[in-house]
Amino acid sequence: MSTPVLTIAPDYGWSDSMQPRVRAMRFGDGYQQLIPDGLNTLLAEVSVPFTNRTDAQRDQLLALFTSLGGAKPFLFTLPGKVQKAYICTRWTESRAGHNANNVQATFQEWGGPV
């Protein structure tokens, strides 16, 4: 099975954050040594808004996120960035009006095979 591609462009206003995963070994007198914790220790978490989307676009987004269940990756390109693999770890939906929906999603960069 091929990796799904999310083609619906997000709105501007997305943000990403990075938190390196490290292990700390603490010694006496306040000395510590930090080492990377495994492979792919610097993966981004991205908060992505999809605002004022049609019912069809909302359904497409929610169907993809639900079918992958936060455990399988998909390919996605943020505006101005290169395509990467992500998992969707959290999403919320709100209705702004008739055929106007907002979906806020959190993507975690995927470090495994695609």
**CA 35 from chain center: how many Å?**
25
pLDDT recorded at residue 36: 87
pLDDT tens readout for residues 67-102: 999 999 999 999 889 999 999 999 999 999 999 999
Once rounded to an integer, what is the mean pLDDT over residues 34-45? 88
pLDDT recorded at residue 63: 97
Specify which residues 100 forms β-bridges with: 97
pLDDT recorded at residue 112: 87
pTM of the model: 0.86
Q: Give the angle 88-41-6 at the CA atoms, nearest 5°.
A: 25
Q: Give the model's confidence band at 39: pLDDT under 50 very low, under 70 low, under 90 confident, else very high.
A: confident
pLDDT recorded at residue 49: 97
pLDDT recorded at residue 69: 95
pLDDT tens readout for residues 42-66: 899 999 999 999 999 999 999 999 9
Q: Where are the domains of the chain?
A: 1-18+44-114
Only one residue has tokens 């008739």, namely: 98
